[in-house]
Every structure is written in C-alpha cells, then in structure tokens.
Amino acid sequence: MDKYYYFVAQLPMLFFGKETSITIDYFLEEAQKWLSAKDYNVLLQVDVKNISIEKKDYQVLREYKNFELHLQTDIAMWRQAKQLDQDFKPTIFPVSYIKEGNPLEVEIKFMEMRWAFIDEMERNFHFDMGIIILYYLKLQLLRRFFTFNKEKGLTKFQKFYEVNV
C-alpha cells in the first residue's frame, strides 16, 4: 500500500477541458508498476461508460455508477416527457443544461457535471485505490472531451440527416 503514495504523488493534476501530459496508456503502464495485481485488474475494468453496478465494485466506483445511472435516467425521462408533450423536472441537473445550446454544448455541460461530481468524491480519498479509480475516470472523460471535433460531427449529422429525410 505504501507504493500507492508514490504512484498518486507522481500523477499530474487534471483540469476539465485542459490538455494533460499524461495519457491513459502511460497511466496504465505506471499503475501496473505500482499497484498490486488484483488492484491493477480492477482498474482495467473501470469504464466511465459502464453503469452496471456489481458487487465486486469498490464503493467509490459504485457511487460514481449510481450517480451516472441517475443522470442518464433523468435525461431519458426528460426526453420522453418532451416527446409526450409533458412536463418533467430532472432531480440531478437543471433543465437549462439540456435546453440551452447545441448537442455538443449540452454534452460538454454533462461532462463538466460528471467531472464536478468526481472532484467532490476525491475529497474523501487520499493515496488509495479510490483516488486512483477517480483519477482514471477523469482521464477517460478528458479523452472523450478531446475526441469531439465540431467539423466531423457536423459532417456526420448532415450525412445522417440526408439519409433520413
């Protein structure tokens, strides 16, 4: 467990929307050096897109997945209510998040919300597997953020729109 202190201490701070010097591949290479084999295998299973809560999940991961599940449920219920011309007030985010802006801007708002949730959770973890899991989730969010390309997205949207019109 002492090795976790060294691993966490060497990780650069991450900021939402800012390029970082650490890649996911480098992070995992370093994690393999410092973590126990069991914890490293647990880390390899962490996926920001996976919201199915499992018994074997660390508590910190269960909390994140629970948050993500509630967020996705609220978004789905809001969209369904809009289709049925009904009112629905989300419990986990302000309606302005989803009403204002183009789809990319809306997605970025939700990513920032996820980031803020992880930031809040980090206060409870120091130099342990919990902080390492949260750091990895943040790296995955950053990777997703930097894969957005406005021009490519617009081109895909226009192709989809042309096919379905």
Question: What is the tens place of the pLDDT at every residue in 57-103?
Answer: 999 999 999 999 999 999 999 999 999 999 999 999 999 999 999 98
- Give me the amino acid identity at 26: Y
| pLDDT under 70: residue ranges of the chain | 1, 150, 152-154, 156-157, 161, 163-165
CA 40 to mean position of chain CA atoms: 19
Question: Structure pTM?
Answer: 0.88
Tell me, what's the pLDDT at 153?
A: 67
Count of domains in the chain?
1
Tell me, what's the pLDDT at 113?
A: 97
48: containing domain: 2-163
Tell me, what's the pLDDT at 164?
A: 62
- Give me the amino acid identity at 162: E
Token pair listed for 130: 């919990």
108-146: b or e for each residue (b if 16 or more CB lie within 10 Å)?
bbebebbbebbeebeeebebbbbbbbbbbbbbbbbeebe
Dist. CA 54–CA 49, nearest whole Å: 14
